[in-house]
């Protein structure tokens, strides 16, 4: 019988589709292997609401009432830290080594720092691991430079973990630091993100009322401005305009604000835009697609493209993502400069017209995803960093 000697107490943003989703999937893999795992968060993670199987123990911090401070969000890092301290103390009393893992620097890594300092002051040994997200570096970092620097590079931090060497180098350049980073790709749930059977594809298209003869371009992401979903709309329009005799569907999966919907308004004879909103089982929707498109201006990794690769979708993307090297290595699609909409449209048309090319690219994508992003390939690397095993 396997009896682990280490426990993970983690905290992260439960609903954002990027770093938070990556962290929660890693935690699920530890839970599947019977490691004691606690996730401290304000809400039940979206992933755990919709996907069956072993999950970490969810700890939701108690609220704080203080008439002197009307802005309750100020208490979030302290609420998270308090819950982490209690969970870590209990695990340590049970004889387990404890790792605190904060994903997103503010407020989650900040809470982990608070918890580590308190526990160490009481004589409880803990390992502190922090994982920055893209927004920590591109948006918050320039505004809170010194606070961000301290959260990342303080002596109290035992390990810094992120997903690509290019992102780690970007962080080190921004803060003029040579401190080491561990880089491990996200883990892809290969039970969910795998090529669909023909009937599964038909069912997905029927559920979305997509005509059987329509070529489906999908875009699934958090739809934040950095993802530039309006450019994916422009790309789909360019494809349709170049092939007036064909029929195309643009499948947009994620939250949509007024600007995005405005860019997609209007009628085109041979292009239909289908909005699904955010989906807890995104793979069930994406089974309807023929190709995945992304036009991000910046990404630390882009888990959406990893998921599309697992589903066996050819990829069309700007050449800015951390996963770009894998797309090229796998022959899983094509990468373009930001101004190469016309070239990207022509590539999509090639895929639409050449079934053999499309199937070969799809098979290459799925095979590479299974080899590169599965838990079998990555779990031991995560165990070495998070648990120092």
Query: pLDDT by residue (tens digit) across 167-183?
Result: 999 999 999 988 899 99
pLDDT in tens, 192-223: 999 999 999 999 999 999 998 999 999 998 88
Q: Return the pLDDT at 243.
A: 96
Picking from 317, 145, 130, the residue whose alpha carbon sits closest to that of residue 217 is 317
Residue 148 has which token pair?
Answer: 């961000």
Domain 6-187+374-387 CATH superfamily: Glycogen Phosphorylase B; (3.40.50.2000)
Residue 67 binned pLDDT confidence (cut-offs 50, 70, 90): confident
Give, to the nearest 10 degrees, the angle between helix 355-373 and helix 375-387: 30
Which CATH architecture best describes the domain 198-373?
3-Layer(aba) Sandwich (3.40)
Q: What would the mean pLDDT of 101-129 be, rounded to a whole number?
A: 97
pLDDT at 306 over 50: yes
Distance of CA 201 to the CA centre of its chain: 24
Higher pLDDT, 263 or 319: 319
Q: Tell me the percentage of the chain whose pLDDT exceeds 90.
A: 71
Of 92-96, 133-137, 183-187, 206-210, the poorest mean pLDDT is in 133-137
Report pLDDT for 47.
Answer: 67
Determine contact, residues 301/295, Cβ cutoff 8 Å. no
pLDDT confidence band for 232 (50 / 70 / 90): very high
- What pLDDT was estimated at residue 207? 94
Q: Where in the sequence of the chain do the CATH 3.40.50.2000 domains occur?
A: 6-187+374-387, 198-373
pLDDT value at residue 325: 86
pLDDT tier at 21, thresholds 50, 70, 90? confident
pLDDT at residue 117 above 70?
Answer: yes
What are the pLDDT digits (tens) for 321-332? 778 888 988 999
pLDDT, position 266: 63
What is the rounded CA–CA span in Å between residue 371 and residue 310?
Answer: 10
What value does the mean pLDDT take over residues 229-252? 94
Predicted pLDDT of residue 142: 94
Is the pLDDT confidence value at 378 over 80? yes
Q: Which of 17, 69, 77, 71 is nearest to 41 (CA)?
A: 77
Q: Are 147 and 106 in contact (CB under 8 A)?
A: yes
- The better pLDDT of the pair 81, 255 is held by 81
- Could you tell me the two tokens for 284? 């069930």
pLDDT of 126 reads 97
Tokens in use for 19? 């770093």
**pLDDT at residue number 1:** 44
pLDDT value, residue 263: 67
Q: Is 78 exposed, middle or buried (0-12, 13-18, 19+ CB in 10 A)?
A: middle
The answer to whether the Cα torsion of 192, 198, 201, 207 is positive or negative is negative
**pLDDT for the residue numbered 298:** 84
Q: How far apart are CA 270 and CA 277, in angstroms?
A: 22
pLDDT over 60 (residue 2): no
**3-17, 75-89, 171-185: range with lowest mean pLDDT:** 3-17
Phi (first) and psi of residue 127, to 5 degrees: -100, 135
Tokens found for residue 127: 């390992």
Question: In whole numbers, what is the pLDDT of the chain averaged over residues?
Answer: 91
> Which residue(s) pair with 382 in the sheet?
none
Within the chain, where are the H helices? 19-32, 46-50, 76-93, 110-121, 134-135, 141-143, 145-153, 165-175, 198-207, 229-242, 258-263, 282-286, 303-310, 324-330, 341-353, 355-373, 375-387
**Predicted pLDDT at 301:** 87
Per-residue pLDDT at 260 exceeds 90: no
C-beta atoms surrounding 121 within 10 Å: 8
């Amino acid at each position: 019988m396997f009896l682990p000697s280490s426990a993970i107490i983690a905290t992260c943003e439960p609903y954002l589709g990027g770093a938070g989703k990556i962290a929660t999937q890693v935690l699920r893999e530890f839970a599947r292997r019977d490691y004691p795992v606690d996730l401290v968060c304000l809400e039940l993670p979206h992933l755990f609401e919709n996907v069956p199987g072993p999950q970490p123990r969810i700890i939701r911090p108690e609220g704080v009432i203080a008439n002197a401070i009307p802005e309750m969000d100020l208490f979030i890092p302290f609420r998270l830290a308090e819950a982490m301290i209690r969970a870590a103390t209990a695990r340590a009393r049970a004889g387990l080594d404890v790792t605190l893992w904060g994903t997103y620097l503010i407020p989650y890594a900040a809470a982990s720092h608070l918890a580590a300092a308190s526990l160490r002051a009481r004589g409880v040994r803990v390992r502190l691991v922090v994982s920055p997200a893209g927004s920590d570096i591109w948006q918050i970092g320039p505004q809170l430079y010194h606070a961000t620097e301290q959260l990342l590079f303080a002596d109290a931090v035992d390990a810094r973990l992120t997903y690509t060497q290019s992102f780690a180098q970007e962080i080190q350049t921004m803060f003029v630091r040579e401190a080491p980073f561990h880089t491990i790709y996200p883990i892809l749930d290969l039970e969910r993100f795998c090529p669909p059977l023909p009937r599964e594809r038909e069912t997905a298209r029927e559920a979305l009322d997509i005509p059987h003869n329509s070529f489906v371009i999908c875009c699934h992401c958090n739809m934040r401005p950095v993802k530039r979903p309006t450019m994916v709309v422009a790309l789909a329009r360019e494809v349709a305009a170049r092939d007036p005799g064909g029929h195309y569907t643009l499948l947009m999966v994620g939250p949509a604000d007024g600007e995005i919907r405005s860019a997609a308004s209007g009628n085109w004879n041979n292009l239909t835009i289908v909005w699904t909103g955010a989906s807890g089982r995104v793979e069930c929707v994406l089974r309807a697609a023929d190709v995945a498109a992304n036009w991000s201006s910046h990404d630390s990794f882009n888990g959406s493209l990893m998921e599309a690769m697992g589903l066996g979708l050819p990829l069309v993307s700007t050449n800015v993502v951390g996963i770009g090297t894998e797309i090229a290595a796998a022959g899983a699609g094509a990468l373009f400069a930001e101004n190469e909409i016309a070239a990207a449209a022509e590539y999509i048309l090639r895929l639409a017209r050449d079934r053999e090319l499309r199937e070969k690219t799809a098979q290459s994508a799925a095979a590479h995803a299974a080899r590169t992003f599965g838990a079998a390939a990555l779990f031991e690397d995560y165990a070495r960093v998070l648990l120092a095993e």
